[in-house]
Amino acid sequence: MRRTALLVSAALLTSLLPLAVARAADDPPPVPVDRFEGEVPFANPPAGGLFTWGGDTDDPPTLRLSPRDDAPEGSQVLSGTYDISGYGGFTHDFAFAEPAPDWSDRKGIRFWWEGQDNGKKVAFELKDGGANGEASELWTTSFTDDFTGWKQIEIPFTDFAYRTDYQPVGGIDHVLGLTQMWGYAVTLPVGAPGRFAMDGVELYGRADQSLRASVLTDSAVYPVDEGGTATVKVTLATTGSAPIDEPVTVAYETAGGSASTSDYTPLKGEFTFPAGTASGTARTLRVHTLKDKAASETAETIPLKLTVTGAKAPAETPQVVIDAHGLPYLNSKLPVRKRVADLLSRMSLAEKTGQMTQAERGAVGTGADIAADGLGSLLSGGGSTPMPNTPAAWAKMIDSFQLRAQATRFQIPLVYGVDAVHGHNNLVGATVMPHNIGIGATRDPRLAQRTGAVTAAEVRATGIPWDFAPCLCVTRDERWGRSYESFGEDPALVESMETVIQGLQGARDGRDLKDDDKVLATAKHFVGDGGTAYGSSITGTYTIDQGVTTVTRKQLEAIHLAPYRTAVDRGVGTVMPSYSSLDIVGDGQGPVKMHARADMINGVLKDKLGFDGFVISDWNGIDQIPGDYASDVRTSVNAGVDMVMAPYAYKDFHSALVQEVRAGRVSERRIDDAVSRILTQKFRLGLFEKPYADTSGASKIGSAGHRAVAREAAAESQVLLKNSGGLLPLKKSQKVYVAGSDADDIGNQSGGWTVTWQGSSGDITPGTTILETMRKNSAQLTYSKDASAPTGGYDVGVVVVGETPYAEGVGDVGNGHDLELSAADKAAVDKVCAAMRCAVLIVSGRPQLIGDRLGGIDALVASWLPGTEGDGVADVLYGRRAFTGRLPVTWPRSEAQLPINVGDPTYDPQFPYGWGLTTRTKVPEGGAATLTALGTAAGAAERAGAGDRGRALVEKARLIVQRKAGSRMTAAVAAPFADAEHLLLTGRYGEAVRKLTQAYRAA
């Protein structure tokens, strides 16, 4: 899933004034906001100042204060350059610690802009009310750069529209109050390099109160049972919260809609807010509905038309909705298949295709299109969150969208989806689990299931019933930016971790999905996304992600398809195709985008494997199919995609699909199949009975119990690669020197897909860093991030190094990333390990190249991305828990070896797949003879079906081999050692010990 882009309002500036602007005689002098003469610094919140932002690392513009002879005011202007692919711009936030300015006595804001005559729109945004500039309402307008040279842009405050995305949930009051202004922002054009200059931001004119009054209603939709009464609250609001100068009259009338006058008591009348009425004053209207003789009816609407004189009318006409009742599909006692059949038989083509359409929450604004287009689903892309980003805000936001669906005739609820790929990772304060690569290192299916259960409980408690997880990719090349989303390089390992599906969904037959702690799971990305070849991607600057996987049919079945067979057997509810292309050797098709492969989606997934859930596309995934948009739509839907994630193009998709059906290029039978699958899952989730958030479990979000599971997962994920002289575990009494970039950084520790799509360094969410937990366990500890503090007199050094966050192809090696430690981290390792015995912890989503320093390191730990619970790392460092993790992927000696995987004909890694020392138990005594005896016993356990005993016997043999091999790894040892790990996971215990015996003899 790609990160959602910011929306820019299309409201067009109405006045571009000439160079000299005369001030009206009765206007007060302008009030400066920014003169750019050095009075405003470059600084980030909560400090006041200018800062840049953007969708990707290259999207933020450059900013500088430049001396200009032609500066409209003073001697300097704010200038910059940009080259934006996603979104980008700059903001001036006022300092959070100071009172917010009051602009309510002014008419508007103006500034000088140096036009480039490029015909592009520039968005200008105000930050109004709330606690600070990053928790304020956003109000926006735009102007077109269709001029050359300096012009003064005047924007009256009445031109600003409430921005419908990235707001505090429900807004603060949906009124441009102007009494607490926290700054402004500029969103620059995308798609081509450009430059800009700005000067003299100021407030101008006198407020015109006659244009500042609005009439609002407390909702847009009022569902009631037949015979019930809807209560509509009508409120007067003014900019600046000042009383009105002139009376405001509101005429009201129930008229139109699908209900007839026999369904309700018509309402008509008028009331007036007299001059002097305070902002916030409300009147109440009541619409009484009537019971009729019909035993069953669809929902009926009663629009309440409001005609306002003296103020702005509500943006929408509120609707009273008489709930559908008595229809078979509403009967929860009927079997799901009968409910689906009944509902499907009543739906129009437009309603069916609406169910197949998924939009991004930021694109639908307050949600009017949900009913207008009959949308079936919404999602939050990575980082698309309400403000404030709290459980209550999530639930309130999603409930507001569900309310909109009640205005449709069948009141089919939305199914809302989110990428909770390692806990409810978009939510600040949620329990953030280790990424899948770390879960794979635990080799603990029961623990994997528990992490899924915690995730499900926290996600569902915020009103979300659908999780775009787990990723079942089998990662085959660590240069891939999504490596950490995989459980490992061995399909057998991935299959063993699919217990997470039961943690998310519960019972395989779906009977638990209606529970308040379960969510619909998604197996992704079907199929082969972990096998894309380096250099095969044609997506932007990506090098491997979304590229081409070239395999024989046998390789496809054995490596990439196997986890999906298991997922289907486990009852996974949805499957997401991959962005990547699949090239099956010998089939004559060449590389074909997975969203277009009917042979795989219809033929294999649905027909051969028997998948009965629904297929959801990836973010704009159908757009990558060659051809025009209509072709993309029919190709993907005919290939078996049931719901299309068209985040911002949902209207285009919906209308295109209707046209394709009417033209006969997509059959109505295909549509019915897709909609049946979608409705089945909605019924299983209990959404028709309980469409709104059940927040009874919200108190457990980020709770001690949930964090205990994450802590255990973090501990079990730690892989001890080297431990010379038994340096680990540490003793509390030791004097410890800690260094490295990742020792005290919760953002780095959590990785990508944490709060935002790409994740970020820093204190982004509550949790404990590795340093914080070490402090709790150490009597004497010194921390020096760059190892600049004196190093003398310490018993042991711990250097925590690794990667900074990234996601998807942004993290591909060759796209600004590599597998080397940073220069600062290398220097810290060198300095600390030269001065004392040292342990190095690598916090990363994939192996890092450490071979040239391995000889100088006493203990080496692959910590992966452990999430928010750094206590789990300290648990094994200090011996509270034993190191038990094993490598889920092969650790290479050099990048030149990549790709390198278990079973390769040439296999000579730094550490083989499955390697992992333990501090749990003493290594068994004995050598080859002991291994022979263990092999005999393991074979007997295998024949007897005694899995626990067989695994324990293989574990003993593995420890014997690791003790002898030590750090002197050779190809002759590594290959059979890795093969043994695969055999162990497939239940061939006797053969696994025989492979380990071969490795022992070669050591």
Amino acid at 914: G
Angle between helices 928-944 and 989-1002 (to 10 degrees): 170
Nearest to 443 by CA among 990, 869, 870, 887: 887
Sign of the C-alpha dihedral computed for residues 724, 729, 735 and 737 taken in this order = positive
Q: Which residues contact 23 (CB under 8 A, 6 or more apart)?
A: 29, 30, 204
Q: What are phi and psi of 96, to 5 degrees?
A: -65, -30
* C-alpha–C-alpha distance, residues 120 and 109, integer Å: 21
Please state the three-class secondary structure of 150-189 as a single string. EEEEEEEHHHCEECCCCCECCCCCCCCCCCCEEEEEEECC
Nearest to 786 by CA among 830, 748, 844, 834: 830
Catalytic residue among 93, 137, 369, 808: 808
* C-alpha–C-alpha distance, residues 861 and 845, integer Å: 13
Exposure on the CB side of residue 336, measured as CA atoms within 13 A: 19
Q: Which residues contact 448 (CB under 8 A, 6 or more apart)?
A: 439, 442, 497, 498, 499, 500, 503
Q: Which residues contact 503 (CB under 8 A, 6 or more apart)?
A: 448, 449, 450, 451, 452, 453, 454, 455, 456
* C-alpha–C-alpha distance, residues 1 and 4, integer Å: 9
Catalytic residue among 529, 618, 744, 981: 618
Q: Which residues contact 148 (CB under 8 A, 6 or more apart)?
A: 115, 116, 117
Q: Where are the alpha helices (DSSP H) in 274-381?
A: 336-346, 349-355, 368-372
Q: How far is CA 688 from CA 242, 299, 330, 346, 572, in A?
A: 44, 14, 7, 16, 21
Residue 841's region, left for phi above 0, alpha for psi from -120 to 50, else beta, is beta
Amino acid at 307: T
Residue 28: CB atoms within 10 A of its CB come to 14
CB 851 within 8 A of CB 910: yes
Q: Tell me: cis bond preceding 691? Omega within 30 of 0 counts.
A: no
Q: Which residues contact 816 (CB under 8 A, 6 or more apart)?
A: 57, 541, 810
SS3 721: strand
Strand 148-156 to strand 16-17: parallel, antiparallel, or no bridges (unpaired)?
A: antiparallel
Q: How far is CA 234 from CA 248, 267, 283, in A?
A: 12, 15, 5
Sign of the C-alpha dihedral computed for residues 742, 748, 750 and 751 taken in this order = negative
User: How far does Cα 657 stand from its chain's mean position?
Assistant: 27
In b/e form, how buried is each residue of 516-546, taking b as 16+ CB within 10 angstroms?
bbbbbbbbbbbbbbbbbbbebbebeebbbbb
Please indicate whether residue 808 is annotated as part of the active site: yes
CB 109 within 8 A of CB 160: no
- Beta-bridged to residue 736, according to DSSP, are 781, 796
Nearest to 798 by CA among 857, 738, 847, 888: 738
* C-alpha–C-alpha distance, residues 271 and 311, integer Å: 13
Q: Where are the alpha helices (DSSP H) in 769-846?
A: 770-777, 823-835
Q: Which residues contact 770 (CB under 8 A, 6 or more apart)?
A: 742, 743, 744, 749, 800, 841, 843, 863, 866, 870, 873, 874
Residues assigned a catalytic role: 618, 808
